[in-house]
Amino acid sequence: MNANYVAMIVILIIWLGIFLYIFRLDKKVENLTKG
Amino acid sequence: MPGILKYILLISMSAVIILVWIMDPPQSTLGDISRIFYFHVPSAWVAVLAFAVGMFNSIGYLRKREMKFDIRAAASAELGLMFCILATVSGAFFAKKAWGTYWNWDPRQTSIFVLMLIYGAYLALRSAIDSEERRAALSAVYSILAFITVPFLIFVVPRIYDSLHPSNTVVNAGGKIQMPPPILTVFLVSLVCFTIIFFWLYGLQSKINIYLRNKKRAV
Amino acid sequence: MVKKSSGFLAGAAAVLIKDITSEFRTRYAINALVMFSLVTLTVVSIAIGRSNLNYDLAAAFLWVIIFFSAISGLGQSFIKEEEARTIYALRLYANPLAVFAGKFIFNSLLLLFLELIFVPLFFILLAVECGNILLLFLVILLGSLGLTGATTIIAAIIAKASVKGALFAVLSFPILLPLLVAAIGATEIAFSGGVFADAVRDLKLLVSYPVIMMTASTFLFEFIWNE
Q: What is the ipTM of this complex?
A: 0.88
Pairwise CA distance, residues B47 & B41, whole Å: 10
Domain that holds residue B112: 28-218
The reply to whether B89 falls in a domain is yes
The reply to whether B138 falls in a domain is yes
The number of distinct structural domains making up chain A is 1
List Cβ neighbours of C145 (8 Å cut-off, separation of 6 or more).
Answer: C108, C210
The reply to whether B195 falls in a domain is yes
The yes-or-no verdict on residue B173 having pLDDT over 50 is no
- The yes-or-no reply on C/A contact (3 CB pairs or more, < 8 Å) is no
The number of distinct structural domains making up chain B is 1
Read off the pTM: 0.88
3-state DSSP helix/strand/coil % of chain B, to nearest 5: 80, 0, 20
| Residues linked to residue B171 through DSSP beta bridges, in sequence order | B177
Q: Given an 8 Å threshold on Cβ–Cβ distance, is B124 in contact with C171? A: yes
CA distance B177 to chain A (A): 27
**Which of chain B's residues have a Cβ under 8 Å away from the Cβ of A19?**
9-10, 13
Helix (H, G, I), strand (E, B) or coil at C117: helix
The reply to whether B47 falls in a domain is yes
Query: What pLDDT digit, counting tens, does each position of C26-42 carry?
Result: 887 888 888 889 999 99
The reply to whether B87 falls in a domain is yes
> Contacts for C161-165 with beta carbons within 8 Å, 24 or more apart?
C161/B125, C161/B128, C161/B129, C161/B138, C162/B128, C162/B129, C162/B130, C163/B127, C163/B128, C164/B128, C164/C75, C164/C79, C165/B128
Q: For residue B161, what pLDDT band results from cuts at 50, 70 and 90? A: low
> Would you call B114 an interface residue with chain C, using a CB distance cutoff of 8 Å?
yes
Average pLDDT over residues C122-134: 86
> Would you call B189 an interface residue with chain A, using a CB distance cutoff of 8 Å?
no
Domain that holds residue A22: 1-35
Pairwise CA distance, residues C60 & C72, whole Å: 18
The reply to whether B21 falls in a domain is no
Residue B171: φ, ψ to 5°: -130, 130
> Would you call B105 an interface residue with chain C, using a CB distance cutoff of 8 Å?
no
Instruction: For chain A, positions 1-35, list CB contacts with chain B under 8 A.
Output: 4-5, 7-8, 11-12, 15-16, 19, 22-23, 25-26, 29, 32-33
Q: What is the DSSP letter of B25?
A: P
Given this model, what pLDDT does residue B167 score? 56
Of B77, B66, B68, B65, nearest to B126 by C-alpha is B77
> Would you call B208 an interface residue with chain C, using a CB distance cutoff of 8 Å?
no
